[in-house]
Structures are given as C-alpha cells and as structure tokens.
A = this chain, B = another copy of it.
Amino acid sequence: MNISEAAKLSGLSVKTVRYYADIKMVEPARNIQSGYRSYTNDDVAKLNFIGKARRFNFSIEECRELLSLYQDENRSSKEVKKLTLAKIASIDEKLKEFHSLRDELSHLVNCCNGDDRPSCPILDELSK
C-alpha cells in the first residue's frame, strides 16, 4: 500500500511515517517504477507499535530498542520491564516537579488580589 494508506491505518501523519523511514525505523520497499514507498501489513504493525510507544512517552531511541525487542524471538521480558521501569521513574520525576510547581504557583495566585492596582505578590516573588 502507499504511504497515505499506511499513515491512515497506523494513525500517524504521512509526514511522520516518511520521517520514520528517513531515520531508518520503518523502511518500506519501493515501487521501482514510481519510486513510491510501498508498505506491507507488517510495516503498518511496526508503525502502530511505535505510535503507541510514543504515546507512552518513550523516546525515538527507546522505541528503536523496544521495536528490536518486539521483533526478537529470543528476547527476555526482563529487558522490556527494565526499560519500562526506567520510563516510569522518569515520569515520576516530572510529576514531582510539576506538582511542586503547581503548588507554588497556586499559592502565589491565592495571595494576589487580581485587581486593577499594580501591587502583585506574583511579580514580587519573581523578582526576589
């Protein structure tokens, strides 16, 4: 199938699918006459896989690793679990950061009158 069909089936944009070909993540065959990329169902399955992994916040390089594990008959689930645990840990870090950020900001908002006068504890805090 052509690239737009593969894109539709995998829920990715044509641009993104072409990008994944460029970076050698999913390299389809080529139609010799037209030069068009020609995707198989297997290629689409890989695109799907990557799309999901990306939505799970895995980076492109992590997706590459997961994809090669996915295609490896002799993989051990241990390796996959390790990657996933590391990802959870990094998400936890971000969660912590954003939580404390949120708390500080909402504290500041509560202190701010939000009226027409210039006095503003938010700006005061930022300039300390």
Contact = CB atoms under 8 A, between A and B. Distances in A.
Majority secondary structure, A binding face? helix
B98 A98 contact: yes
A48 B81 contact: no
A126 B66 contact: yes
Contacts of A3: none
A105 B88 contact: yes
A75 interface: yes
Interface string A107-128: 0110011111111101101111
Contacts of A69: 120, 123
Given A76-B117, A115-B77, A56 B94 contact: no
Contact of A78 (B98, B101, B102, B114): B114
Given A70-B127, A76-B116, 4 more contacts: A48-B127, A56-B105, A66-B123, A72-B118
